[in-house]
Amino acid sequence: VAVVSDTSPYLRLYKNVSGKLVKLTDPASMPASAAKNVSYSANGTYMAVATTSTPFVIIYRRSGDTYTKLTNPVTLPTGSATGLSWSPDGVYLSVAHSVSPYVTVYKNVADVFTKLSDPATIPTGTGAGCSFSYDSIYLAVTHASSPYITIYKRSGDTFTKLTNPATLPGSNGIASSFSLDGTYLS
């Protein structure tokens, strides 16, 4: 179990031992500012933390009870990160953040996270959250400014914006989630 907060220490890790949460030793490299989100890859090997100061995203590799910070991506998110989502296949990590392009997507190859090209059409305002579909094909990004949600379809390493839904959210998007079969988005 990972818990993030906006006061130091910004990250706490726990292990469930027979129904009791036991605090794990802190990673050697901890977040240096408020953490706004945390997300594990589906297989539990990777954990990412969204923070309010550079590098804005911290990626750890877990081995047993030990979390080791990986080298920062060469290209970092452009502003304070708030949302994270791993593609279920563990290949992609999306980060919603406060400065244009408002979403950054990384591809993981052998523990090296490389920023992909920005989508041709970026979200219209500050990113708040992001969510991959369970087949790793679709990415929804919630944000400030109409249409409040931008949905992409992935082909290879390219994310292409889909047509906006006929009925849009009424105000700033905060979070989204796909159903397991990918049919529904809420």
**pLDDT, mean of residues 32-50:** 97
Question: What confidence tier does 172 reach under pLDDT thresholds 50, 70, 90?
Answer: very high
What is the per-residue pLDDT for 101?
98
Give 149's pLDDT tier (boundaries 50, 70, 90).
Answer: very high
Q: For the chain, give the mean pLDDT.
A: 97
Q: pTM (2 decimals)?
A: 0.96
Q: What is the 3-state secondary structure (H, E, C) of the chain?
A: CEEECCCCCCEEEEEEECCEEEECCCCCCCCCCCEEEEEECCCCCEEEEEECCCCCEEEEEEECCEEEECCCCCCCCCCCEEEEEECCCCCEEEEEECCCCCEEEEEEECCEEEECCCCCCCCCCCEEEEEECCCCCEEEEEECCCCCEEEEEEECCEEEECCCCCCCCCCCCCCCCECCCCCCEC
d(CA 49, CA 80) in angstroms, rounded, equals: 11
What average pLDDT does range 147-158 have in this prediction? 98
Asked whether the bond before 101 is cis by omega within 30 degrees of 0, the reply is yes
pLDDT digits (tens, 9 = 90+) for 62-106: 999 999 999 999 999 999 999 999 999 999 999 999 999 999 999
d(CA 73, CA 93): 11
pLDDT at 175: 96
Average pLDDT over residues 162-180: 95
The closest alpha carbon to 3, from 62, 49, 70, 71, belongs to 49
Instruction: Report, as an integer, the average pLDDT of 157-166.
Output: 97
- For residue 5, the number of C-alpha atoms closer than 13 Å in the C-beta half-sphere is 8
pLDDT of residue 33: 96
Residue 156: exposure state from Cβ atoms within 10 A (0-12, 13-18, ≥19): exposed
Query: Given this model, what pLDDT does residue 178 score?
Result: 96
Q: What is the mean pLDDT of residues 160-165?
A: 97
pLDDT digits (tens, 9 = 90+) for 108-129: 999 999 999 999 999 999 999 9
Choose among 176, 115, 171, 119: nearest CA to 148.
Answer: 171
